Amino acid sequence: MTSEHIWTWLQTKGKIFKVISDPERGIIEVINEKGEIFIRKTNLSKRQVETVEKNFLNHIAKRLNGRESLTSSKKQDLFDPMIS
């Protein structure tokens, strides 16, 4: 069984990126419409990949559902899992 997760990421200008993450292998990839790897992060910890997935889903889901962005009264996590 694989731990790979795949999403489509709709961009504001109509482009569609494919996002692939695998917490077990420590990989996150963003692939553009031409099938080229736009971003590839490797050697990430399981926690780093899961944090990126959580933040990606939280922020993108808010935009797609028309929810308001985070207000200044809410605390934001300053941890950047893409920087090791």
pLDDT higher than threshold 60 for residue 74: no
pLDDT higher than threshold 50 for residue 75: no
pLDDT higher than threshold 60 for residue 53: yes
pTM of the model: 0.66
* Helix spans in 1-84 (H): 46-65
Rounded percentage of the chain residues whose pLDDT exceeds 90: 37
Residue 60 makes CB contacts below 8 A (sequence gap 6+) with: 9
Q: For 19-36, what is each residue's pLDDT tens digit?
A: 899 999 999 999 999 999
d(CA 16, CA 33): 6
